A and B are shown apart, each in its own frame.
Chain A
Amino acid sequence: MLGQVLVNGLLQGGFYACIGVSFSIVFGIMKIINLAQGTQVILGAYITYAASHLLGLDPFFTLPLSIIGLFILGYMIQKYLINLVAKGGLIITSLLTFGLNLILINIALLIWKADFRGTNPWYMGMSFEVAGVTIPYVRLLIFVIAILFTIVLELFFRKTETGNSIRATALNPKAAQLMGIDIGKTYCLTFAISSALGGAMGTLFILAKPISPFTGGDFLIILFSVAILGGLGSIPGALLAGIVLGMVESFSTMFFGIAFQNVVLNLVFILILIFLPTGFMGKRFYG
């Protein structure tokens, strides 16, 4: 039983981590609270839904489509909307992303109506057992892909020139600009990467739960929790935070019942922030 609870928490945590990373990089690096992130995740899910129903593709094979689709959308949003008001500060950009969220929801509503949509591939619900612990294939695959994306993203930020320019911009935009970095383009790229990751998470999410244009709002608490607990902008931090949240959820359900899940979760959240005010791996600067 304990093993099962551990595995449940780990699998759920992997998803939380990755979805949290997508929010955290924009929040931490660009100081923008993207309130449309949840809906961008759902748009990724809709791309998967459309591709699997119209083209007959397996949901997992639609990952490139949702990544590319959301990358382009994210780039455009940053270039033609957020960059225009970026100097207005946190409140203005938050208002903009709030409005953008409403627009995206209504576009989704026009195209797909308020119906619940889901995918149900043939392997849905199949699982295997290891030492008495049941491991569902889909959830395991979601976990592996989510962790893989998180690791690849961290390597991209650390090992590539573009990644370094993004980190340099986060550290000091003016100095980065003096070093020849195009700030506007860097912001576009960062937002596009965050959106693409969100889109990928949408593909994975629709395998777990049905979606409607309004489902994105459900992610906000998790997005904020993972980003803040992990440390704004920290990818390894978000990974750790996601897994901790998944574990806390799973164990609190076992020991206190699911009714107390949110109470325990918030208690742990507060306790961690009391002792680690910048989160697990947060720093004053995120470069």
Chain B
Amino acid sequence: MKKRKSFFWTRGTIIFSCCLILISFPTFVNSQEAKVRIGAAVSMTGRLAKEGSLVKKGYETWTEWVNGRGGINVGGKLHKVEMIYYDDKADATTSAKLTEKLITEDKVNLILGPYSSGIAAATSAIGEKYGYVTIAPVANGDFVYERGFKYLFSVLSMATQDLVPVAELAVKQIPKPKTFAAVVLDHVFTLPAIDGVKKKSLESGLQEVYYGKFPVNTSDFSGILTTIKGKDPDLLYFGGFFPDAVSFYRQAKELNVNAKLYTTTGTAGHPDWLSVMKKDGEYVLAQVPWHQDMPYKGPFFTSASFNDFWKKKYGEEADYFSACGFVSGILMQLAIEKAGSLDQTKIRDVLRAIDVETFFGKFKFDEKGKNIAHRMGIIQVQSGKQVLIDPPQPGAKILYPAPSWKER
């Protein structure tokens, strides 16, 4: 009896094990499917949650799109993309730790970078340590690329170049501006951006009447604006992040501080600028890494068709943060396909030599990983729209001089 019972249990165990194997077979087969595992630590919470989430949306959309095409062709075999995301909480140290986890524990094949120069500076050091290629989607503070790193590549041109077209545009206007004032957040991205336009302005014969740096979390700009008002500048350059720019221009209106041209480092091109500032956000200029009216053509999309693709999918215009995320994926894809391998050194060498135009713009890297072929676009907020004025568009022109706050 005891023997029969034991036999029953043994047989049961074997059948159960067989069932388990059968059930897990599809998973087993699936796990054998060729995959490229890509890791990204981006800000989903914290001060940069909005921008980080948009970059992540770009990564996600690219993943879905590329997998819809069968995946990435690595040496003649299609590999699906599997993304692993972590939230860096907008903290550089956390981001660096998570990047290390992606490389050492999750064993990802590749790394897509975080949002912002400050965070990318930390994560790229980890990538460099392990010899992993990092494509930085929105991190163009010049110093990030001045550390002799060999595996870091910037999607964007350097911050010092960001607002240079504004100075070039300004000096062509009539009446020609003579003076400028610059107010800048003491930050690795905004400082070089404002210093670049300042340098170009001085070279173009403009006179600096005010230059002031402000620390993080400044909410009251009335002191600076009171000083600027007394200097009566023609051009007002403002370098700061979204909340800074909103406070600054609201208070400029309150204190009736006028200029012929107003500028921000990117924020007037931010998706939330129009809804928050409404008519007070009019006439302000900003650089944008990408805009749907740009003339670029790539292997998969043009600037316009990418926007159509995005609109069809999400029912809204594509924003430049997401476009940066999406094109980072495309860039990685092109590099892997050309390298025919997931070997980091081979991918790096392909990126080093790449010379390609995409829907986003052109890509050509120098030995430091800077994209020397990219040029920022310049938008101006006109009648509730972020209108691309540089590169020049048919029918689009800069509104200059901006009317005073009281005349609006």
Contacts and interface: CB of A to CB of B under 8 A. Distances in A.
Interface of A: 1, 4-5, 8, 11-12, 105-106, 109, 113-118, 120, 124-127, 134, 136, 138-139, 208-210, 212-215, 217-218, 221, 246, 249-250, 253-254, 257-259, 261-262
Contacts of B275: 117-118
Interface in B249-287: 250-251, 253-256, 270, 272, 275-280
A259 B246 contact: no
Given A254-B227, A261-B218, A118 B276 contact: yes
A257 B222 CA distance: 12
A115 B254 contact: no
B354 interface: no
Contacts of B217: 218, 221
B214 interface: yes
Contact of A259 (B47, B215, B272, B278): B215
A12 B247 CA distance: 13
Given A109-B49, A116-B242, A139 B186 contact: no
Given A114-B49, A124-B280, A209-B247, A258 B224 contact: yes
A259 to B, nearest CB: 4
Given A4-B226, A259-B213, A115 B256 contact: no
Which of B50, B213, B226, B255 lies at the interface centre, i.e. has the most chain A CB atoms within 10 A of its CB?
B226
Given A249-B223, A261-B223, 5 more contacts: A114-B50, A116-B242, A214-B45, A217-B47, A262-B215
A147 B226 CA distance: 24
Contact of A261 (B47, B49, B214, B246): B214
Given A120-B280, A209-B243, A254 B223 contact: yes
Contacts of B226: 1, 4-5, 8, 254
Contacts of B243: 116, 209-210, 212, 215
A-B pairs, 8 with minimum CB distance: A253-B223, A125-B253, A114-B49, A136-B254, A118-B276, A8-B222, A114-B50, A116-B272
B405 A125 contact: yes
Contacts of B255: 4, 127, 134, 136
A261 B215 contact: yes
B344 interface: no
A214 B214 contact: no
Contacts of A212: 47, 49-50, 243
B280 A250 contact: no
A125 B220 contact: no
Interface residues of B, number: 44
A212 B53 CA distance: 13
B53 A257 contact: no
Contacts, number: 127
B223 A8 contact: yes
Contacts of A217: 47
A250 B220 contact: yes
Contact of B49 (A138, A210, A214, A218): A214
B315 interface: no
Nearest to B44: A114
A11 B222 CA distance: 10
Of A138, A250, A259, chain B has the most CB atoms within 10 Å of the CB of A259
Contacts of B279: 120
Contacts of B26: none
B223 A214 contact: no
A254 B221 CA distance: 11
B391 interface: no
A258 B213 contact: yes
B230 interface: yes
B212 interface: yes
Interface in B337-388: none
B246 A118 contact: yes
B173 interface: no
Contacts of A215: 243
Contacts of A209: 219, 243, 246-247, 250
Interface in B271-319: 272, 275-280
A208 B53 contact: no
Nearest to B253: A125
A214 B47 contact: yes
Contact of B278 (A106, A120, A249): A120
Nearest to B54: A114
A1 B277 CA distance: 28
A249 B276 contact: no
A8 B45 contact: no
Contacts of A257: 212-213
B328 to A, nearest CB: 20
Interface centre among B221, B222, B227 (most CB of A within 10 A): B222
Interface string B195-225: 0000000000000000011110111111110
B70 interface: no
A146 to B, nearest CB: 14
Given A127-B255, A253-B223, A210 B215 contact: no
Interface string B35-57: 00000000011110110110000
